[in-house]
Structure 1
Amino acid sequence: MNDRENEAKPINDQTGHVSEPAMSAAAIDGAAALRSVFQRVNQAAEKAGRVSDRIRVVAVSKTKPVSLIRQVYDAGHKSFGENYVQEMIEKAPQLPEDIEWHFIGNLQSNKVKPLLTGVPNLAVVESVDDDKIANTLDRVVGNIGRKPLKVMVQVNTSGEESKFGVEPSGCVGLAKHVKEACLNLEFSGLMTIGMADYTSTPENFKMLAKCRSEVCKELGIPEEQCELSMGMSGDFELAIELGSTNVRIGSTIFGAREYPKKN
């Protein structure tokens, strides 16, 4: 199973109760779940002495129906994320054009053109992990004539072979390549996925913050201009305390993922 399918079982409220896995879309109140997430984001930001409106919540709607995404959108939310190209291509045209889509899965070069042409309102690709995919994105963005595309460099801060991402030692080089060689891309920050045992491994998030310091020093940009995308349903409060500006919340908003059963 891809590591991006491994978000921890969601805690839905301040009581610490864990959601049941088999909740139908009809039974989910996306608006209420979104409000709960923002309450927790605000509390985590306050604890860390940060301003909560500098923290973006990306609602990750993988495997979820358009009707449920629309429910969360109608509650006033605009930032959504998907992990699979085909799923994003199918959903985006059915939803309002002012949604800011984040692609957060592993992206193959042959899927870049379908993604960019199928989702004109794609705002960010968070998962650039080598020169090849950066170059392909740069070329296709230029060919189709869309505005520069924001990208984040994905860093494998845990050292796990199951995870995608450039090694921490290579993040400066890749970020520099994006900024200097890919004129149709806009380097906007760094992204990582923490280990499963989040609370005892904050070093994954601390490593990304360290990478940001190194990248910003090399590129000569202030750290405020380099986002940190880290934190999912099971660990976003810890990520916020450690500096995250972009948290990717899936099951805590939408309920447990619904994968087709294998024969």
Structure 2
Amino acid sequence: MAAPAVEGAAVAALRSVMARVRYAAERSGRDPELIRVVAVSKTKPVSLIRQVYDAGHRCFGENYVHEILDKAPQLPEDVEWHFVGHLQSNKVKSLLSGVPNLSMVEGVHNKKIASHLDNAVSSLGRNPLKVLVQVNTSGEASKSGTDPSGSVELAKHVKLHCPNLLFSGLMTIGMPDYTSTPENFRTLLNSRTEVCKALGLTEEQCELSMGMSGDFEQAIETGSTNVRIGSTIFGPREYAKKQ
């Protein structure tokens, strides 16, 4: 009898998160409808995702290609999937062919992966795919993403040389303990200013994906348009124990 209680908790948590998103947006004078919440369901079963879907949510994210390939076919076609993990070149084609309702890739961390995505979209005859350029704002060697100084060059590559991709903005991942907040947010804001200037875009044309379970309200108040929330909705990650 434990499973229904957990599933009920996820729906209640989703409602709480959406309320917090709304209040954070209103505090900063922004329209809550312009903030996208990506419910990141890493390691969670399809049954739990379905409960959140049935509560009205449509935007979900996965970190691993094998998980999204397994889950996407089991869920309705109107789910807007975001791939939010590190994407390897050899997994690009299987991701795009296996998830026809993939809405966005967050994020493109170098020119090579951008070109692989562009070629795969073309070869599969898909509609242009929305992508965010990943910026390593915390300077950690373990993090993917371009250095902030390279954000303009990578954004230009996507915008000008990848006709099957839609450059949609920038994303960042801060330190796991959130000690790099709010410096990460300020760095990404500065990168957006430079990218918009270089590409002739307005800020509204360049999304900011920043903020996760521990700092999404601050991210929204700073200007984030896309927050990625996992454990606050679904509970702690459930990794297989090593034997």
Matched, 1:27 2:5: yes
Question: What corresponds to 2:182 in structure 1?
Answer: 202
CA distances 1:180-224 after superposition (whole Å, capped 9, x unpaired): 000000000100012244366311111101100100110001110
Contact 1:58 1:81 in 2 (8 A): yes
Matched, 1:95 2:75: yes
CA distance in 2, matches of 1:42, 1:98: 23
CA distance in 1, matches of 2:21, 2:209: 14
Runs of 4 or more, structure 1, over 4 Å off, are none
Contact 2:21 2:32 in 1 (8 A): yes
Contact 2:174 2:180 in 1 (8 A): no
CA distance in 2, matches of 1:197, 1:87: 25
CA distances 1:155-180 after superposition (whole Å, capped 9, x unpaired): 00010111111100000000000000
Structure 2 unaligned blocks of 5 or more: none
After TM superposition, the score normalised by the length of structure 2 is 0.96
CA distances 1:7-42 after superposition (whole Å, capped 9, x unpaired): xxxxxxxxxxxxxxxxx6543222211110011101
Cα RMSD for the two superposed structures: 1.1
Shift of 1:47: 1.4
Q: Secondary structure at the match of 2:105?
A: strand
| Higher relative contact order (Cα pairs below 8 Å, separated by 6+ residues) | 1
Q: Secondary structure at the match of 1:112?
A: helix
After TM superposition, the score normalised by the length of structure 1 is 0.89
CA distance in 1, matches of 2:149, 2:176: 22
Distance 1:110 1:199, change over 3 A: closer
Shift of 1:82: 0.1
Distance 1:181 1:200, change over 3 A: closer
Q: Taking every aligned residue pair, what percent have the same amino acid on both sides? A: 72
Aligned residues: 240
CA distance in 2, matches of 1:143, 1:257: 35
Question: What corresponds to 2:222 in structure 1?
Answer: 242
Aligned partner of 1:228: which letter? L
